[in-house]
Amino acid sequence: MPAPESFLDNLENLRLVMSVALEHVQDNRDPFVQGATGVQVRQVERTIGRLRVVTMQLEREFAILEYLIGDGPIGAATFPTQNQNHA
């Protein structure tokens, strides 16, 4: 069954990419603050906002996944999936 294996591979790839991105942010945060122009500061503020939206979307998807596999919090049931039928 390739779909579950591909899904697991994609999650692992996401973890690796996020890990590298976190290291990059940690290593470059202070130098950025010290040398950024006003335009760059506004750009980073917009980008951080977009990243927070993606982070919330990922958290929602993880909660749905955990609920569907039976290991998640009870509150996750309030997140409908796109494939759910509403009677």
pLDDT in tens, the chain (87 residues): 569 999 999 999 999 999 999 999 999 999 999 999 999 999 999 999 999 999 999 999 999 999 999 865 555 455 555 555 444
**Residue 76 per-residue DSSP state:** G
- Within 28-73, strands assigned E span none
The domain total for the chain is 2
Residues 26, 1 within the same domain = yes
What does the buried/exposed string (b/e) look like for 74-86 if buried means 16 or more CB atoms within 10 Å of the residue's CB? eebeeeeeeeeee
**Residue 82 per-residue DSSP state:** T
Q: Is the pTM of this model over 0.75?
A: no
Residues 24, 42 within the same domain = no
Print the domain residue range for 4: 1-35
Task: Round to whole Å and give the CA distance between 33 and 30.
Answer: 5
Residues 61, 42 within the same domain = yes
